[in-house]
Amino acid sequence: MLRMSAKNLVANMRQGELSSVEVTEFYIDQIKQHNDSINAVIAQRFEEALVQAHHADERARAGEPIGALHGLPMTIKDAYEVRGLTCEVGHLPYQGRVSTRDAVVVKRLRAAGAIILGKTNTPLQCADLQTYNAIHGTTNNPYNLAHTPGGSSGGAAAALAAGMTPLEFGSDIGGSIRTPAHFCGVFGHKPTFGVIPQRGHVPPAHGALTASALSVMGPLARCVDDLALAFDVTAGLDDQSGAGLRLSLPPASVSNVRSLRVGVWLRDDYCPIDNETCLGIEAASRSLEALGATVHEAKPNFDLAWHHETYLMHLSAIIGAGFSAQQVGMMQQVVDAAHRDDKSPNVLQARGTLLRHRDWLIWNEIREHLSQQWRAFFNDYDVLICPVTPTTAMLHDQETSYAARTIKVNGEVRPYSDNVVWAGVATLCGLPSTAVPVGRHSNGLPFGLQIVGPEYGDHTTLAVARMLEEAGYGSAPVVSFA
């Protein structure tokens, strides 16, 4: 069962070769065996899950209609409301808060037959690329416990990589699906903005009816089939949108690798990438070329620095909306002390936090112009392949403030915030992006790439991910760790 995809587990349960009870007991045992080392699963409902598994088996034996995930146990990121479980996102004021309703994503997973085993850890308020908080502690990377699994869906990716769940669901505003997938050697899909409803995700606050302007909900898995399966059962507009709207995503723009046109953007002085990672992504891209694809070094017609500044003006305004008066005052001090031409990450964040609405409207117009550059790019290419972050998973660093943290890229000290630069390439304009594992770095940690597609081109990025998987790029067997 450990080596089987979620899709194959469901198929075996449909055929009576496995029961939901067997699979559910197996994954409960996996969590009990391995979670002490990884600390990924931070709330559980094992008894209720086994009752649901019994009912799932009874329905299957009775020949009742069953869903695409019938009887499949899975965990889910703590940020989703799950009726009867806490939803704390590491935030002490939320400690012990039990949800009385399911998020839309959870409703759809359950309607398809999934059984929620428990919830996986996040950073405080899902606002870091490392996963630790004052309530549930630190989640470790299964490949090396001294390193982070990423964030904010770090618990989700770690649970997958460690074999504690066959499927997961995360969320992404600054790489929060793609970075953990890249750090833990699994697949992740950041959908086009708005195609999977956010309602019932925290943040924003519990019970909020409005959605974040950049955040998306999406699956993580150990193979593309599972990624596509989870995406298909959750995609669709929120029922609150009204009867006049319906989502109809186009099929993949390519069905054969020989007709595929790939742009590859790997090297940019604004945010340099580890050399070994670059070479690995380049080799993966060339494997598509060897199969008949057209592969060129290419990028949209904008500067990465300008794109990232625009991204931070949007991202920081969203994050800053939840800041206390003291935090806002600190941002004001940063802006007041900075030269007007200072474009350092901390200054850009502070400016974005303090942005007035009339100024935000200007930045939003700039974003639309960048979207036009993307549309022009996708007239010539089906997808863009680029990095997820500059390096493999970082060592845990909880003593240094976010603003003061650094990473090292090819021997050069770089700002920690470089970790969101390449993620923002897909996020700012709401584009779909599928993270694909590429291999193991010489340091023993996994690394991956992201496939960015045109707006609503989710099936295209998933199709290209499948082409790479068939070429030999995919999740390693479940990690053995000590």
- The DSSP output letter for 45 is -
Q: Which of 33, 5, 29 is nearest to 18 (CA)?
A: 5
Task: Output Rg (C-alpha) for the chain, integer angstroms.
Answer: 21
Other beta carbons within 10 Å of 143: 25
- Among 77, 107, 190, 299, the active-site one is 77
Structure token digits, residue 366: 């700039």
- Among 5, 19, 99, 152, the active-site one is 152
Mention every residue, 6+ apart, whose C-beta is less than 8 A from residue 455: 192, 371, 374, 429, 430, 431, 432
Cβ–Cβ < 8 Å for 142, 40? no
- Look up 119 and say whether it is catalytic: no
- Look up 77 and say whether it is catalytic: yes
- Among 19, 176, 287, 433, the active-site one is 176
Mention every residue, 6+ apart, whose C-beta is less than 8 A from residue 155: 39, 40, 41, 42, 77, 78, 119, 120, 121, 122, 131, 139, 149
- Look up 176 and say whether it is catalytic: yes
HSE, side-chain direction, 13 A CA sphere, residue 296: 10
Please state at what angle helix 345-353 crosses helix 304-320, rounded to 10 degrees.
50
CA distances from 143 to 160, 180, 186 (A): 12, 12, 12
| Active site positions, annotated | 77, 152, 176
